[in-house]
Amino acid sequence: MANKLRNSLPKTSPFLNLFIPLLFISLVFAETPPTTSVSPVTICKSTPDPSYCSSVLPPRNANVYDYGRFSVKKSLSQATKFLNLVNRYLQRRSSLSTSAIHALQDCQTLAELNVDFLSSSFQTVNRTTTLLPTSRADDIQTLLSAILTNQQTCLEGLQATASAWRVSNGLFLPLSNDTKLYTVSLALFTKGWVPTNANVTAFQPPAKHRAFRNGRLPLKMSSRTRAIYNSVSRRKLLQGNVGDEVKVKDIVTVSKDGSGNFTTLNDAIAAAPNKSSSTSGYFLIYVTAGVYEENVSIDKKKTYLMMVGDGINKTIITGNRSVVDGWTTFKSATFAVVGAGFVGVNMTIRNTAGAEKHQAVALRNGADLSTFYSCSFEGYQDTLYAHSLRQFYRECDIYGTVDFIFGNAATVLQNCNLYPRLPMNGQFNAITAQGRTDPNQNTGICIQNCTIRAADDLAANINAAETYLGRPWKNYSRTVYMQSFMDSVIDPGGWRAWDGDFALNTLYYAEFNNTGPGSTTANRVTWPGYHVINATDAANFTVSNFLLGDNWLPQTTVPYASELLTLGRNPSMPTVPSHNTIIKDSQLRRTKNENGALPPPPAENQSNTTTPAENQSNIKQPNQNQKKGTKGSFLLCCESERREEEEERERPPRPCAPAASCLRRSSVAPLMIPPPRLHRNREQEGSLPLTNDRKWEKREEGHNFYLCSQNLTLNTCYYLGYFFNRDNKGLRPQFYKEPMPKPS
């Protein structure tokens, strides 16, 4: 086909063959250098609104740095004026409705953030007249992007309550004009200070870090703080090497029964120090199991908090605010976090307002460099509000119906489970509604190595509503699904329009290397902004490139894959574990020979001759009686390294190798078995069934290890080894059952 196309093209003359490269070179060099003085009209051609840009810049020639400094300084002045204006309205709140007050309070919070962000941005641009390092340029571009998002959020809240008070000229006009000015500032900053290759950074191995194991944190803390933690937790801390631990400055506990320092999360948050830094250590809030009915708020001053619960469906934070009941979408959140550097682990966050209450947020996240690990977010419309700045989610469960992952942050969801629920009659499901309003914003949603399946209620009525990957909330909406499993719940068209042809030319929707019955792209939408991309384009949306996550995620110790997943890397483990190196093993299922012995693993260069169907039939299914919502992992280790308490019987104790295996530590690292993925709505194939009615022991034959269970009804052994099999669920570790004699 390529040859036919090539042969059908008209031949060009030697002159054109020479002219075209020269023309290209001349166009490249024709671009004005940043330090060259140009007129406002010329510089404004690089902005989304050249006419408005020309009207606000000084009418004299200058370079992009001079114009950029002027614009950012003017933006800071206007943001301060708008904040004062909002404060004046709030001083007259006695004449306002409750919904109007809520909207103004949102604007006040957002305007304060804008002043902070512009102050920080101006300090940078005022002392720099050259391209910034990629990481610093990303910091400022992130702040300027968030300013536009904050403006839009304020405007939407005011519009939703405009009928309750007269505000048409008082706030709408300055909001509109200021937003245009902030757009100019972002465009000029992008042109003058952001490296042209900032979107794709050279790969650098991330710093060494440990993953959380079974919810245990590798925490570095004082003996007093450790004693407090151990006294309230049934878990022992899994300690790592120095430098591999999360530094904890102090700890408080929250318990419903009054046995902790506090009985509410908000009281514990109030006790945290203000403006902690990443180097001083986290303020750890340990939240014991229980149902906490409160709307949690972590404001901008409470930075570098870490909140750890007892697990999904154990530590539950719940609320029921909604737009129907007079709250703004922004203020409806059960859990809202703004303070930078937040880490949330092992919690369920719910909004129980229900589908009939429409917008009702479970989590609103506007915290830069924030991370959620092993959490569940449950709601219907607008469940997860990834509002702004940079965010990472790992092994989380998200439930919802309409636009249940939305906002305008730079967001990566990795190894998460997305569960569309049954919506109201006449509604459809849209998993994402990304809100990018400006082409220079470095924002978007990337969903990598995740699983999309119908929740129980929708699975029982699978034809009751269509489910789409997303729809464009704003003009430059940007969403990428890559290396994820999509079940048949996804509509063949994949994506849904917002309103007519709105944003269909300017959005960026992409899919890369997804699997499952819903991943077929043959019948996808044909919009100009929709793309099936290759690995080079997909690399722009990895944790390393899109979030620059290698710079800040290692200190959290949350596992992550910095690049695209490749065969041979376990997607459920950190890209670079510290001293617990992942050991890959054979890709073949092994059976006993005629003497009843298990042969050694085949050589690495042997291929797997087992068909996918055979593979699926031999995968051990999870026990249906297993307690759901738990997560765990096995570490095959020396007995001296065992860290778990024997009395904790939610899962069997971690098996340990005999002393002889410790002698091989220099060449053979501990063998990691990935955590079972156990959820309320499905049982994932490949999970290791862990139940209290079994006794487990490690068996060794030759140099091969097995985990065996024995009880009155079942005698099963699992070969402990890493290998990968690309089936219709993508890359997943597989565990194969081997019948063996009951150990004596």
The catalytic residues are 403
Backbone angles phi, psi at 165, to 5 degrees: -160, 160
Positive/negative CA dihedral, 147, 149, 152, 156:
negative
What is the pairing mode between strands 704-710 and 376-378?
unpaired
Sequence-distant (6+) residues with CB within 8 A of 52 are 180, 184
Q: Tokens representing 687?
A: 């999970």
- What distance in Å separates the CA atoms of residue 354 and residue 359, rounded to the nearest whole number? 9
Q: CB count, 10 Å around CB of 54?
A: 18
Widest pairwise Cα distance in the chain: 91
- Give the residue from 381, 355, 376, 438 showing the smallest Cα distance to 150: 438
388 within 8 A of 456, measured Cβ to Cβ: no
Q: Helix (H, G, I), strand (E, B), or coil: what is residue 372? A: strand
**What's the full length of the chain, in residues?**
744
- The C-alpha angle with vertex 438 and arms to 521 and 201, in degrees rounded to 5, equals 70
Distance CA 131, CA 68 (A): 13
Neighbours of 587 (CB within 10 A): 21
Left, alpha or beta for 511 (phi > 0: left; psi -120 to 50: alpha)? beta
Q: Which two tokens stand for residue 604?
A: 């690495």
| Residue 626 one-letter amino acid | Q
Q: How far apart are CA 463 and CA 485, in angstroms?
A: 20
Structure tokens at 614: 């055979």
Helix (H) or strand (E) run with residue 457 in it: helix 456-459
187-201 residues labelled b (16+ CB within 10 A) or e (exposed) = bbbbbbbbeeebeeb
* Rounded Cα–Cα distance for residues 730 and 447 (Å): 14
In whole angstroms, give the CA distance from residue 422 to residue 122: 48
For 573, 669, 687, the CA distances from 721, given in Å and listed in that order, are 14, 12, 14
CA distance 558 to 156: 35
What is the spatial distance between Cα 70 and Cα 704, in angstroms, rounded to a whole number? 68
Q: Are 626 and 674 in contact (CB under 8 A)?
A: no
List Cβ neighbours of 667 (8 Å cut-off, separation of 6 or more).
none
Work out the angle at residue 433's Cα, subtended by the Cα atoms of residues 429 and 435, and round it to the nearest 5 degrees. Answer: 165
The amino acid at residue 664 is: R
Alpha-carbon distance 702 to 636, whole Å? 16
Determine the distance from the C-alpha atom of residue 487 to the mean position of all C-alpha atoms in its chain, rounded to a whole number: 20
Pairing of strands 348-351, 467-470: unpaired
Q: Please tell me what DSSP assigns to residue 93.
A: G
The pair of three-digit structure tokens given for residue 684, joined into one six-digit string: 């994932």
Please name the residues in contact with 26: beta carbons below 8 A apart, sequence gap of 6 or more.
none
Could you tell me the two tokens for 227? 């004693």
Residue 351, helix vs strand vs coil: strand
Evaluated on CA atoms 177, 180, 182, 185, the torsion sign reads negative
Structure tokens at 705: 């290890």
Which residues on adjacent β-strands are paired with residue 250?
A: 283
Going by the DSSP 8-state scheme, the letter that residue 48 receives in this structure is: S
Pairing type for strands 704-710 and 715-719 reads antiparallel
